[in-house]
């Protein structure tokens, strides 16, 4: 199998599944080239339902070239409410056109202000807000431009390879269900490094990694501010130097100046200056990095992704046909054939852990791989026993990502191809596209 570019190896993705040369190309030539639409699963009450019984206002927003957090923050400011009251099912890419559901907790009004770059449609009311994972996947329509002349032929070869990996018939393909670069930061991939420092209990290192640690791809003023942090640990000076758009960095520096806490508690308190979903993301990114490594080592070991081996842990489907990480079973040698049939019928999925305090590791070869990855990072499941958003009980995630892919020409651009496919919750479109394009990870951002 072909080795991944250095950026991907730094986030735990060591190789491609396919060996066919890539089509190159560029993504997001304009936001409309990357369109994402969320599939919803919840029924709603009418807009005129009693807010006392249904206190959450639910709306759909189509965002153009806007990140989810930024939109929520601006809307909250316009409404004069806490950003924490606005929730959504899944965070989407910024440079794209994304359509998804949001809700506002304990909101009695039946109108919303306009927000630049957003089309807002009120949908109804609900007894509880939209929560993370409250959707049934996403539909993607993506244009790759400036592809090679023989791109169609290469795509057909890649599709055949990826179908074989999943033991499926084209156009259904399978790839490793790793976390894409967006999870870690595409310009400065340090989110997982912050998270790893947190779960190791080194909050000072977590803060220094987030505030300092400059990237050569950042603007000069940002680089200078981060270099100043690395050299001085002077938080007042850092606050003066951080550009205004680095709101989270400025908030952490301000909290360091204001808090009376000392030692490790001071730095842990400073990290709570960012929104709770970002606090959780630090730890989630650490879990994602470990998961990527587990998938890479499974590939290296030649273990299948579409069917289990003895020692694996599989999960089964829920009422919506989605993988249910709360319904798992360890695979014994005697059960391999039976569980394989469930996997072939789409009723079960081989998993790897997003490690947390309640993680039960696999056995035999899969378990050996899981323990080796944790040992290399100096971690155990108990390392995730943090407070608040800095801890996690863990879960499990399927290691195989399957979808049917439609690839067509684009009428007005002979160098472009259109990719259409659907993915389950938490899966990354770029993980599919990287197998076809084989470009540096920054070009997938």
pLDDT single digits (tens) 141-180? 999 999 999 999 999 999 999 999 999 999 999 999 999 9
What pLDDT is recorded for position 41?
A: 76
| Whether residue 241 sits in one domain with residue 102 | no
pLDDT band at 182 (very low <50, low <70, confident <90, very high): confident
| Whether residue 394 sits in one domain with residue 284 | yes
What distance in Å separates the CA atoms of residue 101 and residue 111, rounded to the nearest whole number? 16
| Whether residue 393 sits in one domain with residue 282 | yes
List the one residue out of 383, 386, 183, 388 whose CA is nearest residue 274: 388
Which DSSP helix (H) or strand (E) runs through 203? helix 203-211
pLDDT band at 115 (very low <50, low <70, confident <90, very high): very high
Q: Got the DSSP string for 289-349?
A: HHHHHHHHHHHHHT--SSS--TT-EEEEE-TTS-EEEEEEEEPPGGGHHHHHHHHHTTSEE
What pLDDT is recorded for position 141?
A: 98
Would the pLDDT of 320 be above 80?
Answer: no
Q: Which range among 91-100, 190-199, 294-303 shows the weakest confidence by mean pLDDT?
A: 91-100
What distance in Å separates the CA atoms of residue 282 and residue 271, rounded to the nearest whole number? 10
* 214 contact partners, CB below 8 Å, separation of at least 6: 188, 222, 223, 226, 227, 230
CA 133 from chain centre, in angstroms, equals: 12
Would residue 227 count as lying in a domain? yes
| Whether residue 141 sits in one domain with residue 14 | yes
| DSSP-based helix, strand, coil % in the chain, nearest 5 | 40, 20, 40
Would residue 121 count as lying in a domain? yes
Given a contact cutoff of 8 angstroms between Cβ atoms, the answer to whether 425 and 394 are in contact is no
Would residue 437 count as lying in a domain? yes
53 is catalytic: no
Q: Indicate the DSSP class of residue 420.
A: E
What distance in Å separates the CA atoms of residue 343 and residue 348, rounded to the nearest whole number? 5
What distance in Å separates the CA atoms of residue 383 and residue 418, rounded to the nearest whole number? 44
| Whether residue 161 sits in one domain with residue 87 | no
Q: Which domain holds residue 318?
A: 278-398
Would the pLDDT of 371 be above 90?
Answer: yes
pLDDT band at 34 (very low <50, low <70, confident <90, very high): very high
Given a contact cutoff of 8 angstroms between Cβ atoms, the answer to whether 305 and 366 are in contact is no
- Give the chain's domain count: 4
Would residue 93 count as lying in a domain? yes
| Whether residue 372 sits in one domain with residue 313 | yes
Would the pLDDT of 189 be above 80?
Answer: yes
| Whether residue 148 sits in one domain with residue 94 | no
| Whether residue 364 sits in one domain with residue 326 | yes
What distance in Å separates the CA atoms of residue 269 and residue 258, rounded to the nearest whole number? 10
| Whether residue 345 sits in one domain with residue 268 | no
**pLDDT single digits (tens) 384-400:** 999 999 999 999 999 99
List the one residue out of 400, 426, 348 whose CA is nearest residue 168: 400
Backbone angles phi, psi at 358, to 5 degrees: -100, 10
Would the pLDDT of 139 be above 90?
Answer: yes
Would the pLDDT of 445 be above 80?
Answer: no
Percentage of residues in the chain having pLDDT higher than 70: 100
What distance in Å separates the CA atoms of residue 218 and residue 13, rounded to the nearest whole number? 23
| Whether residue 328 sits in one domain with residue 282 | yes
E-assigned strand segments in 185-301: none
Would residue 183 count as lying in a domain? no
Among 24, 50, 53, 93, the active-site one is 93
What pLDDT is recorded for position 322?
A: 83
| Whether residue 234 sits in one domain with residue 362 | no
Given a contact cutoff of 8 angstroms between Cβ atoms, the answer to whether 312 and 362 are in contact is yes
CATH number at residue 120: 3.30.70.3160
Omega before 171 cis (within 30°)?
A: yes
Give the torsion sign (CA, 137, 325, 192, 309). negative
Would residue 194 count as lying in a domain? no
């Amino acid at each position: 199998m072909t080795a991944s570019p250095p950026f991907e190896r730094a986030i735990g993705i060591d190789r491609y599944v396919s060996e066919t040369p890539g089509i190159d190309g560029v993504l997001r030539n304009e936001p409309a080239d990357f369109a994402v639409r969320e599939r919803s699963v919840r029924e709603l009450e009418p807009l005129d339902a009693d807010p006392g019984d249904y206190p959450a206002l639910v709306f759909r927003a189509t965002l153009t070239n806007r990140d989810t957090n930024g939109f929520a923050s601006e809307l909250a400011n316009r409404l004069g409410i806490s950003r924490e009251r606005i929730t959504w099912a899944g965070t989407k890419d910024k440079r794209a056109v994304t359509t998804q559901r949001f809700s506002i907790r304990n909101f009695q009004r039946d109108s919303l202000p306009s927000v630049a770059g957003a089309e807002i449609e009120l949908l109804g009311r609900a007894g509880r807000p939209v929560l993370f994972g409250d959707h049934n996947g996403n539909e993607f329509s993506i244009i790759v431009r400036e592809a090679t002349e023989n791109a169609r032929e290469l795509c057909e070869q890649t599709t055949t390879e990826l179908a074989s990996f999943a033991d499926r018939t084209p156009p259904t393909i399978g790839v490793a269900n790793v976390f894409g670069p967006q999870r870690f930061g595409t310009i400065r991939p340090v989110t997982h490094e912050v998270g790893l420092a947190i779960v190791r209990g080194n909050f000072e290192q977590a803060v220094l990694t987030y505030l300092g640690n400059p990237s050569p791809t950042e603007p000069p003023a940002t680089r200078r501010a981060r270099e100043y942090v690395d050299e001085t640990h002077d938080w007042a000076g850092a606050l003066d130097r951080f550009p205004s758009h680095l709101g989270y960095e400025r908030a952490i520096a301000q909290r360091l100046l204001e808090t009376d806490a000392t030692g490790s508690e001071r730095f842990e308190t400073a990290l709570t200056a960012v929104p709770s979903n970002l606090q959780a993301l630090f730890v989630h990114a650490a879990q994602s990095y470990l998961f990527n490594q587990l998938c890479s080592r499974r590939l290296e070991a030649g273990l299948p992704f579409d069917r289990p081996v003895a020692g694996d842990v599989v999960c089964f489907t829920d009422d919506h046909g989605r993988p249910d990480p709360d319904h798992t079973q360890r695979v014994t040698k005697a059960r391999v054939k039976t569980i394989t049939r469930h996997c072939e019928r789409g009723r079960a999925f081989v998993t790897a852990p997003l490690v947390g305090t309640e993680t039960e590791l696999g056995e035999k070869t899969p378990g050996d791989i899981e323990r080796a990855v944790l040992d290399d990072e100096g971690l155990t499941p108990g390392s995730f026993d943090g407070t608040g958003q800095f801890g996690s009980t863990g879960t499990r995630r399927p290691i195989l990502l399957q979808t049917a892919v439609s690839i067509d020409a684009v009428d007005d651009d002979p160098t472009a191809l259109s990719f259409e496919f659907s993915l389950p919750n938490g899966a990354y479109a770029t993980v599919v596209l990287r197998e076809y394009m084989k470009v540096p990870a920054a070009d997938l951002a």
